[in-house]
Chain A
Amino acid sequence: MSEDELDPVIHAPARLRIVVTLAALPDGDNLSFTRLQDLIGLTPGNLITHLRKLDDAGYVRMEKSGSGVNGTTSVSLTREGRAALDRYRRVLRDLLDQAGSTPPR
């Protein structure tokens, strides 16, 4: 992937929502799978599939604690994930500038 290309790992509606939502948390914080699901509005199956793709790229970290009915999964954005989102935002801004549209905040 070149520097002026949108990162294909992030450039999908669901994964973009996930990364932007996790980036709203301060560094060092994580979000439970169920709260993330509430915020994104995906089914558990779809959410885990997107999370695994982000996890494979090193952009999110998934941690499971407990087991059975008391098990919880927490998700956080890694440093690489935050850097990738910053890069994505920069490339997107350039593309929108070229097209004369309003860049994202």
Chain B
Amino acid sequence: MNEDVDMKDGAGLDDGADLDPQGAAAIMQEAGERARRELRVSHPVTFIAGGVAWLLGYGAIWFSVRGQHPYQGPAPEAAVIQVVLVGFAVAIAASVIGRATSGVGGLSMVQRRISILALAIGIIAVLVLEAAIDHAGASRAVVFGVYQAAAPVLVAGVVYVASSAVRLSWTMLGLGLWLVAVAAGGAFAGPVGVWAVTALAGGLGYLLMAALGPALDRHQ
């Protein structure tokens, strides 16, 4: 986009001669509120999308594995539903973040890219490790139950915790710690129960943070 500028209409430059302190205070308040509203990423929207996708996606997998004896693992249709829902949540998050950060450059963009890269590398590592555990002869209940449900949640939680330190966000810290706890604790529910625990606790954690986040981040 061409952003070359000219000075043709700069002649009517205003100055502060007529600006009284009350007027200046009003401008500061209005401009500050507008900038914060327009430039900050609205976490509630992304967390609601994540929570719904999480609840329904993991819920669909739990629905497909419940009652399996012996445990076989998620049905392909349920996995497809989860992938589609995650894609939907990612698209909403990308749209919200893209709108807020349009035209913004510098350090926070680099930090955001590193967080996304860390998450992507973590998820790839989880998949590679899953193949290795399967190759080593672990049961389907361990590989396609406990591990497959809990490991990605652990990675997401750790990335949120690390990102919270960089962005000083209590919302991200709260959600990250919660997801780590859900992954570690949910694994004790066994290969079927872990999907239900992750769906409910993970999904509701996102939705709770969507509700509490604005109040928490006001104190950051």
A→B interface (CB under 8 Å): 6, 8, 11-14, 16-17, 20-21, 23-36, 38-40, 43-50, 68-74, 76, 89, 92, 95-96, 99, 101-105
Contact of A105 among B13, B32, B40, B102 (CB under 8 A): B32
CB–CB A46/B12 < 8 A: yes
Contact code string B1-40 (vs A, CB < 8 Å = 1, else 0)? 1111111111011111001011111011101101110111
Shortest distance from the beta carbon of B43 to any chain A beta carbon, whole Å:
15
A50 to B32 alpha-carbon distance, docked (Å): 18
Chain B contacts for A105, CB-based, 8 A = 28-29, 32
The answer to the question of B70 belonging to the interface, with a C-beta cut-off of 8 Å to chain A, is no
The answer to the question of B139 belonging to the interface, with a C-beta cut-off of 8 Å to chain A, is no
Can you list the 6 inter-chain pairs with the closest CB atoms, starting with the nearest? Answer: A35-B103, A28-B107, A49-B10, A24-B35, A11-B16, A32-B103
Chain A contacts for B36, CB-based, 8 A = 24
What is the chain A residue whose CB lies nearest that of B105? A30
The answer to the question of B106 belonging to the interface, with a C-beta cut-off of 8 Å to chain A, is yes
Residue in B13, B25, B27 with the greatest tally of chain A CB atoms within 10 Å: B25
CB–CB B7/A36 < 8 A: no
CB–CB A99/B1 < 8 A: no
Contact code string B60-72 (vs A, CB < 8 Å = 1, else 0)? 0000000000000
CB–CB B1/A72 < 8 A: yes
Contact of A17 among B3, B8, B31, B105 (CB under 8 A): B31
Residue in A16, A69, A95 with the greatest tally of chain B CB atoms within 10 Å: A16
Chain A contacts for B40, CB-based, 8 A = 24
A25 to B111 alpha-carbon distance, docked (Å): 14
B→A interface (CB under 8 Å): 1-10, 12-16, 19, 21-25, 27-29, 31-32, 34-36, 38-40, 102-109
What is the chain B residue whose CB lies nearest that of A40? B31
A62 to B87 alpha-carbon distance, docked (Å): 38
A101 to B105 alpha-carbon distance, docked (Å): 37
CB–CB B35/A48 < 8 A: no
Contact of A46 among B13, B29, B34, B108 (CB under 8 A): B13
Contact of B7 among A23, A24, A49, A70 (CB under 8 A): A49
Contact of B9 among A29, A43, A92 (CB under 8 A): A43
Chain A contacts for B106, CB-based, 8 A = 25, 28-30, 76
CB–CB B107/A48 < 8 A: no
CB–CB B105/A74 < 8 A: yes
CB–CB B14/A14 < 8 A: yes
Chain B contacts for A50, CB-based, 8 A = 13
Shortest distance from the beta carbon of B172 to any chain A beta carbon, whole Å:
15
CB–CB B9/A39 < 8 A: no
Chain A contacts for B12, CB-based, 8 A = 46
CB–CB A46/B10 < 8 A: yes
CB–CB B21/A45 < 8 A: no
What is the chain B residue whose CB lies nearest that of A33? B3
Chain B contacts for A45, CB-based, 8 A = 5-10
